[in-house]
């Protein structure tokens, strides 16, 4: 350091020295303080070190104490574990022995099962062998059954043919029986029937046991149930179609063209299916007769079609067909094809008379000539619109009259070998009187046989012997017999019912008299029997189509109808008489 100008250098240096001395003293004091602090810190350090030493010992002691405790705990755990293990071992042991037992049992049972399975397998094998043997036997049996069935069918056909021949020879009335299905209205009961009887009403009690046997379960309240059987030429079950019914009727139509009179008559209680069988189903009380629904057509439309088919196979012009439609209502005969002066069809009363030859005849009855089945159906439909029908509790469209549709077939026969029946004679006389050598052209509204003509003119030599032979197909839909209580009719309908029942019992009386070969047959007791006299008692082939309602409700009426059919079968009228025809085909 250099002294500044004007100042004494010695004092500067002295000052400087003092300053330094002061600084030195301060430093020394500071050192002393620091040394003191240092000593104090040392002391504290020593103190803390002592403390740390003690703490370490304590920690060590604590560690040592904890280790002991843990040891203790571990040893008690070990003991517990030991115990548990011991128990487990015991359990294991018992499980093991149980498992051993089980496996032993299992093996024992498996063995038993195995034996059983083996036995079953052997059994099955034996059964299979037996089954195979049975199958072979069954096959053999089936074959023999088929052979027997075929033989049976052949024998049955032979028997039927023989039976038919016998029926022909004895002039028996053939009886076919049709059991209709149960229908919804069978559930409804007449109002006079007690409630507890209504329950079983719809139960079916009449069955076709086979195609010749009717089985009726007669379980009347308070009586033991009895099964009764009735045999007929043919029995139709409730599923048999109109086709099946007609198939058995068709051969009679061949007979018709071969020269036999034929009558097919439906008999049964109200609602049993007579009109359905004879005409077909009614739609709201009208007959459809539509050819589109041919499967439902009844015997009358089918028979007409068949007659015209058979005629179409004959020489043209040699046959012509007339139709008459009458109803017997309240014991009066009504002509349903009569026309008023305007040509409108209306019902007119006619009478039935017995001719000198003992035949029945309805004078002035309208006979319309028809050329085909459609014309015939058109006329019948018109006539049916006039037929009396009323609803009853049993049947909504019940016919209250007997309907008789007659087809008269006139055949022109040339030759010497003529028969001498009354109809033939009359026809012949008419022909010889009216036309000596030419048959007149058919007129549309020709009435009665006297004004009928051939469908085409036939020229014949005046010298040649000509004869008309008439055969008649009568198709009868009888009114239904009925129990007044069940049909619930009153007033005029009750009167109708009593006429219906009386005429049907007159029919039964007539059959009874013929069956017993009584000298007097009471044909004239009713207009119905008088009208049908020639068919029922004469030489016609007569088929009664018995119609049966299958329900319990109609049991009494069904039994009555079956009784009627059985009695009818017993009637022997002598062989049906055939009109003289030049070239007969085989009669059925
Ligand atoms: N075989 C059948 N299959 C189906 N329905 C049938 C059969 N027979 C009858 N019916 C039905 O039963 C009802 C009564 O039949 P239908 O009119 O022919 O009785 P009915 O004996 O002529 O009675 P009624 O004497 O009172 O005139 C009709 O509705 C008819 O369609």
Residue ranges of the annotated binding site are: 268-275
CA of 195 to the centre of ligand 1 (A): 26
On average, the pLDDT of the chain sits at: 81
Residue ranges of the annotated binding site for ATP are: 268-275
* Domains in the chain, CATH or no CATH each: 171-569 (3.40.850.10)
pLDDT of 529 above 80: yes
d(CA 406, CA 279): 14
Nearest CA, atom 23, ligand 1: 271
Ligand 1 pocket, residues with Cβ under 6 angstroms = 180-181, 183, 268, 270-276, 281, 395, 397-399, 479-480, 547
3-state secondary structure 419-471: CCCHHHHHHHHHHHHHCCCECCECCCCCCCHHHCCECCCCECCCCCCEEEEEE
- 495 — pLDDT class (breaks 50, 70, 90): confident
Judge contact between 406 and 324, C-beta under 8 A: yes
pLDDT of residue 265: 95
Closest atom of ligand 1 to 547 CA is 21
pLDDT (tens digit per residue) in 38-65: 899 989 989 998 998 898 999 999 999 9
Nearest CA, atom 16, ligand 1: 273
Nearest CA, atom 9, ligand 1: 273
Instruction: Report the 10 Å Cβ neighbour count for 374.
Output: 15
CA of 181 to the centre of ligand 1 (A): 10
Nearest CA, atom 14, ligand 1: 271
pLDDT of residue 438: 36
Least confident of 104-108, 200-204, 310-314, 320-324: 200-204
pLDDT > 90: percent of the chain = 38
d(CA 384, CA 326): 9
Find, among 587, 259, 301, 299, the residue nearest to 409 by Cα. Answer: 259
pLDDT of 439 above 80: no
pLDDT of residue 539: 78
How many Å separate Cα 547 from the centre of its chain?
Answer: 19
ipTM of model over 0.90: yes
DSSP-derived 3-state class of residue 21 = helix
d(CA 254, CA 294): 21
Which residue's entry shows tokens 């049906």?
A: 576
Which of 252-266, 291-305, 336-350, 419-433 reaches the highest mean pLDDT? 252-266
pLDDT (tens digit per residue) in 80-97: 999 999 999 999 999 988
pLDDT of residue 295: 84
CA of 396 to the centre of ligand 1 (A): 10
d(CA 52, CA 46): 10
How many Å separate Cα 454 from the centre of its chain?
Answer: 47
Nearest CA, atom 12, ligand 1: 273
pLDDT (tens digit per residue) in 140-165: 999 999 999 898 888 888 877 777 77
CA of 469 to the centre of ligand 1 (A): 36
Judge contact between 449 and 361, C-beta under 8 A: no
- 1 — pLDDT class (breaks 50, 70, 90): low
pLDDT of residue 392: 58
Name the residue of 180, 187, 273 whose CB sits within 8 Å of the most ligand 1 atoms, as the mutation to test its pocket. 273
pLDDT of residue 461: 42
CA dist 560 → 2, 142, 348, 505, 565 (Å): 177, 41, 33, 11, 9
pLDDT of residue 342: 77
Question: 137-140: which pairs have CB atoms within 8 A and are 24 or more residues apart?
Answer: none
CA of 397 to the centre of ligand 1 (A): 9
Closest atom of ligand 1 to 279 CA is 18
CA of 570 to the centre of ligand 1 (A): 27
More confident residue, 428 or 587: 428
Nearest CA, atom 11, ligand 1: 273
pLDDT (tens digit per residue) in 249-259: 998 998 898 88
pLDDT > 70: percent of the chain = 78
Judge contact between 487 and 497, C-beta under 8 A: yes
- 286 — pLDDT class (breaks 50, 70, 90): low
Residue 584 DSSP code: P
Phi, psi of 366 (to 5 degrees): -75, 125
CA of 238 to the centre of ligand 1 (A): 12
pLDDT (tens digit per residue) in 451-469: 333 333 333 344 456 778 8
Q: Are strands 226-231 and 402-414 parallel, antiparallel or unpaired?
A: unpaired
Closest atom of ligand 1 to 180 CA is 1
Which residue's entry shows tokens 């010298």?
A: 463
Judge contact between 540 and 255, C-beta under 8 A: no
d(CA 569, CA 175): 6
pLDDT of residue 140: 92
- 532 — pLDDT class (breaks 50, 70, 90): very high
Phi, psi of 419 (to 5 degrees): -80, -175
DSSP-derived 3-state class of residue 260 = strand
């Amino acid at each position: 350091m250099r002294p500044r100008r004007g100042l004494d250098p010695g004092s500067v240096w002295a000052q400087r020295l003092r300053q330094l001395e002061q600084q030195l003293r301060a430093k020394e004091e500071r050192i002393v303080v620091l040394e003191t602090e240092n000593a104090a810190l040392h002391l504290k350090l020593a103190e803390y070190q002592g403390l740390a030493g003690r703490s370490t010992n304590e920690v060590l002691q604590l560690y040592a104490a904890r280790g002991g405790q843990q040891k203790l705990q571990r040893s008690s755990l070990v003991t517990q574990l030991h115990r548990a293990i011991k128990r487990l071992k015991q359990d294991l042991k018992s499980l093991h022995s149980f498992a051993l037992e089980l496996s032993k049992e299992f093996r024992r049972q498996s063995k038993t099962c195995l034996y059983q399975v083996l036995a079953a397998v052997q059994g099955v094998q034996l059964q299979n062998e037996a089954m195979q043997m049975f199958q072979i036997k069954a096959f053999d049996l089936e074959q023999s059954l088929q052979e027997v069935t075929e033989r049976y069918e052949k024998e049955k056909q032979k028997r039927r043919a023989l039976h038919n021949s016998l029926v022909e020879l004895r002039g028996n009335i053939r009886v076919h029986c049709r059991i209709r299905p149960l229908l919804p209205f069978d559930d409804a009961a007449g109002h006079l029937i007690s409630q507890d009887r209504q329950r079983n009403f719809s139960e079916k009690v009449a069955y076709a046991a086979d195609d010749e046997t009717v089985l009726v379960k007669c379980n009347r309240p308070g009586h033991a149930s009895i099964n009764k059987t009735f045999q007929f030429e043919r029995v139709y079950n409730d599923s048999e179609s109109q086709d099946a019914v007609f198939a058995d009727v068709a051969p009679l139509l061949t007979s018709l063209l071969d020269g036999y009179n034929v009558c097919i008559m439906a008999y049964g209680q109200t609602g049993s299916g007579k009109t359905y069988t004879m005409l077909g189903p009614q739609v709201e009380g009208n007959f459809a007769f539509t050819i589109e629904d041919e499967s439902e057509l009844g015997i009358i439309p089918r028979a007409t079609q068949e007659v015209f088919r058979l005629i179409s196979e004959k020489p043209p012009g040699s046959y012509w067909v007339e139709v008459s439609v009458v109803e017997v209502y309240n014991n009066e005969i009504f002509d349903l094809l009569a026309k008023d002066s305007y040509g409108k069809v209306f019902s007119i009363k006619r009478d039935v008379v017995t001719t000198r030859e003992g035949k029945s005849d309805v004078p002035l009855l309208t006979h319309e000539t028809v050329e085909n089945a459609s014309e015939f159906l058109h006329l019948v439909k018109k006539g049916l619109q006039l037929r009396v029908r009323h609803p009853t509790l049993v049947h909504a469209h019940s016919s209250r009259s007997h309907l008789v549709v007659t087809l008269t077939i006139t055949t022109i026969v040339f030759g010497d070998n003529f028969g001498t029946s009354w109809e033939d004679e009359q026809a012949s006389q008419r022909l010889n009187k009216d036309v000596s050598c030419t048959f007149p052209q058919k007129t549309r509204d020709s009435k009665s046989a006297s004004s009928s003509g051939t469908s085409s003119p036939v020229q014949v030599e005046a010298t040649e012997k000509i004869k008309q032979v008439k055969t008649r197909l009568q198709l009868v839909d009888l009114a239904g017999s009925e129990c007044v209580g069940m049909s619930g009719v009153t007033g005029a309908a009750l009167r109708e019912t009593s006429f219906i029942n009386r005429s049907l019992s007159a029919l039964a009386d007539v059959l009874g008299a013929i069956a017993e070969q009584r000298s007097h047959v009471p044909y004239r007791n009713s207009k119905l029997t008088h009208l049908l006299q020639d068919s029922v008692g004469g030489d016609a082939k007569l088929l009664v189509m018995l119609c049966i309602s299958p329900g319990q409700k109609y049991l009494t009426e069904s039994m009555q109808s079956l009784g009627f059919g059985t009695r009818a079968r017993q009637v022997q009228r002598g062989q049906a008489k055939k009109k003289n025809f030049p070239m007969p085909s085989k009669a059925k």
